[in-house]
A and B are shown apart, each in its own frame.
Chain A
Amino acid sequence: MNPDTDVSRAEFCAIACAEVFRGDGEVMASAFGTAPALGARLAKLTFAPDLVLTDGEAALMVGAPALGTSASELILESHMPYRKVFDVVWSGRRNLIMMASQIDRTGNQNISAIGEWAKPKVQLIGVRGAPGNTVNHPTSYWVPNHSTRSFVEQVDVVSGVGYARAASAGPPASRFHEIRRVVSNLGVFDFETPEHTMRLRSVHPGVSVDEIVEATGFSLTIPDEVPETRLPTPEELSLLRDVLDPLGLRDREVKS
């Protein structure tokens, strides 16, 4: 808990993830991880009411049910099997927060393998849809364990495409490319610099800029004034705690 505010670190992360969806209209919000799932739901219940959420299986669902709601209690509105997900991805009607095992200065993400690709030190899940997602619709990343192992100078396998890679692949790759945010357990980052390199956007209350610099394996752009990640409103806090996550799953993902 932050002593001044009574808001937990996980709750700041959820708010930061919700902000990723601000301004979105009727697009499919996909969110991997607890804080992103909470963020998408919170945005839908407050400032982005037209968001369309998935049930995590093969459907679009009504409303923003609490995390952990059983499948039989969900109200479904449309069939969304994987084959149709690609129609949505390639049409651009999607805003996504996915996880990153590694992320680098220009926004490349890795979920494929650590070490040399031919014979990796650690095999991860695989590139999944990251290459296609990143060149088709806005993509953000959630990193619950910010360290020099996750924020690296250069990712080992470019799965999600960052700004420099998209630019060098030419207009077909950069046309719909946008890495909107990176949210970690320490702060919020974006690429709003002239060269689209990572910039510290806000620090979560209770975290110092030095702490973030220390935990980051490359040189971040740090503005003269770094704001704190905004506080949830009382309404948002009560939605998070009482409606969306009564089981407190958020505090298991990110410790205060």
Chain B
Amino acid sequence: MADKRLSLDELIGELRSGMTIGIGGWGSRRKPMAAVRAILRSDLTDLTVVSYGGPDIGLLCAAGKVRKAVFAFVTLDSIPTDPHFRAARQAGAVETMEVDEGMFYLGLLAASQRIPFLPTRAGLGSDVLTHNPSLRTITSPYDDGEELVAMPALPLDAAVIHVNRADAGGSGQILGPDPFFDELFLGAAQRRYVTTERLVPTEQFASEGAIQTMSISRLLTDGVVETPGGAHFTACVPDYSRDEAFQKAYASSAGDADSWAAFSRQYLELDEAGYQAARMEPVATHTGGAR
């Protein structure tokens, strides 16, 4: 079994400006935030970000890293919208491909299966087709003759997901209730990275959870990075729940340039160890911010 362990810096070193990058998780849940923070500190730019969007998209937009966002929603769950993404959209600062969340799933699935599209009813009649003129429909070759949306594959140059446990060979274990679409993000990508709360010996998986929790196979991974607290401030149950106070501070930092600068200085202009130390301090919510 190959040893796929990497440092966070080595992972970022595998990425290039202009890439299409898939980010696992869902909303403000089990996001590979340590990797996102590392991208913020890097000189990577001009990225196309493909994500069931949460603060990953918000942070990357706030830092000017995003050329294009591919999404069905961007939400912080307990706060309905991400104010940083909202600001970027309202300034017309990012290109977008906005699709139905089921279409998004089929795009990843098609890319994983190396086929050009998958047919679906989702999208028919909606402005998803109006606003994405490149989307096509396809007529069933069978007797029904139904005309359906041909959701194109969403191939990724790279993907990063965050899991509860992983081993050095790149197998990953998701202990929370929902594996989301993480497996498909990896399947759709050329370069595939897993960050994990804890690297464990393979034989420890069985004592952590049932076989169904061992959902990320090493067939799907090129590199694995141990990042304790690496999903903070998003939820990473059962290891930790969402840090609501911190998330509130993040959201309110979108209020004005000074708040964002202060938030960046306090949390983002540090390496990951520095971030993990800083976030243990009591959080001061910047009040004047938009919610």
Interface residues, chain A, with chain B CB atoms under 8 Å away: 57-59, 79, 81-83, 86, 89-90, 112-113, 117-132, 134-136, 157-161, 165-166, 168-173, 176
Within the complex, which residue of A58, A86, A124, A129 is in contact with B177, where a contact is CB–CB below 8 Å? A58
Q: Does B208 contact A (CB under 8 A)?
A: no
Closest chain-A Cβ to B122's Cβ sits at a distance in Å of 3
By the criterion CB–CB under 8 Å, are B81 and A123 in contact?
yes
By the criterion CB–CB under 8 Å, are A127 and B72 in contact?
yes
By the criterion CB–CB under 8 Å, are B178 and A82 in contact?
yes
A-B CB proximity, top 7 nearest = A132-B122, A126-B73, A119-B92, A169-B125, A131-B126, A58-B177, A173-B124
By the criterion CB–CB under 8 Å, are B90 and A119 in contact?
yes
Closest chain-B Cβ to A80's Cβ sits at a distance in Å of 9
Within the complex, which residue of B80, B86, B128, B146 is in contact with A127, where a contact is CB–CB below 8 Å? B128
Q: How far is the CA of A169 from the CA of B130 in the complex (A)?
A: 12
Q: How far is the CA of A123 from the CA of B81 in the complex (A)?
A: 8
C-beta contact mask, B49-86 vs A, less than 8 Å → 1, else 0?
Answer: 00001000000000000000001111100001100011
Interface-centre pick from A83, A123, A134 (highest chain B CB count, 10 A): A123
Within the complex, which residue of B92, B98, B102, B178 is in contact with A81, where a contact is CB–CB below 8 Å? B178
Closest chain-B Cβ to A109's Cβ sits at a distance in Å of 10
Residues on B with beta carbons closer than 8 Å to the beta carbon of A118 = 92
By the criterion CB–CB under 8 Å, are A165 and B89 in contact?
no
Within the complex, which residue of A81, A130, A169, A172 is in contact with B100, where a contact is CB–CB below 8 Å? A130
Please name 18 further chain A to chain B contacts, defined as beta carbons within 8 Å, in addition to the given A82-B181, A172-B146, sorted by A numbering: A81-B179, A82-B26, A83-B105, A83-B179, A90-B102, A112-B98, A112-B127, A119-B91, A122-B90, A125-B74, A125-B81, A126-B73, A126-B74, A129-B72, A134-B126, A136-B121, A158-B130, A168-B125
Within the complex, which residue of A122, A134, A159 is in contact with B127, where a contact is CB–CB below 8 Å? A159
Within the complex, which residue of A79, A82, A90, A132 is in contact with B123, where a contact is CB–CB below 8 Å? A132
Residues on B with beta carbons closer than 8 Å to the beta carbon of A131 = 100, 103, 122-126, 128
By the criterion CB–CB under 8 Å, are A124 and B146 in contact?
no
A–B pairs, 29, beta carbons within 8 Å: A81-B179, A82-B180, A83-B179, A90-B102, A117-B131, A123-B89, A123-B90, A126-B72, A126-B75, A127-B126, A128-B101, A129-B72, A129-B122, A130-B126, A131-B100, A131-B124, A132-B100, A132-B102, A132-B123, A135-B124, A136-B122, A160-B126, A165-B125, A169-B124, A170-B124, A172-B124, A172-B148, A173-B124, A173-B125
Q: How far is the CA of A188 from the CA of B125 in the complex (A)?
A: 25
Q: How far is the CA of A127 from the CA of B124 in the complex (A)?
A: 13
By the criterion CB–CB under 8 Å, are B125 and A157 in contact?
no
Q: How far is the CA of A128 from the CA of B103 in the complex (A)?
A: 10
By the criterion CB–CB under 8 Å, are A81 and B177 in contact?
yes
Closest chain-A Cβ to B116's Cβ sits at a distance in Å of 20
Place the interface of chain B in its size category.
35 or more
Q: Does B147 contact A (CB under 8 A)?
A: yes
By the criterion CB–CB under 8 Å, are B178 and A129 in contact?
no
Q: Does B120 contact A (CB under 8 A)?
A: yes
Residues on A with beta carbons closer than 8 Å to the beta carbon of B47 = none
Q: How far is the CA of A81 from the CA of B183 in the complex (A)?
A: 13
Residues on A with beta carbons closer than 8 Å to the beta carbon of B158 = none
The answer to whether residues A129 and B102 also contact, given A57-B178, A120-B89, A121-B90 and a CB cut-off of 8 A, is: yes
Within the complex, which residue of A82, A122, A132, A161 is in contact with B120, where a contact is CB–CB below 8 Å? A132
Residues on A with beta carbons closer than 8 Å to the beta carbon of B127 = 112, 117, 127, 157-159
Q: How far is the CA of A126 from the CA of B80 in the complex (A)?
A: 10
Q: Does B99 contact A (CB under 8 A)?
A: yes
Interface-centre pick from A89, A129, A132 (highest chain B CB count, 10 A): A132
Interface-centre pick from A82, A134, A157 (highest chain B CB count, 10 A): A82
By the criterion CB–CB under 8 Å, are A128 and B73 in contact?
yes
By the criterion CB–CB under 8 Å, are A81 and B180 in contact?
yes
**Residue on A nearest B103 in the bound complex, by CB:** A132
Q: How far is the CA of A119 from the CA of B131 in the complex (A)?
A: 12
**Residue on A nearest B91 in the bound complex, by CB:** A119
Q: How far is the CA of A124 from the CA of B90 in the complex (A)?
A: 10
The answer to whether residues A125 and B80 also contact, given A132-B102, A161-B125 and a CB cut-off of 8 A, is: yes
By the criterion CB–CB under 8 Å, are B126 and A129 in contact?
no
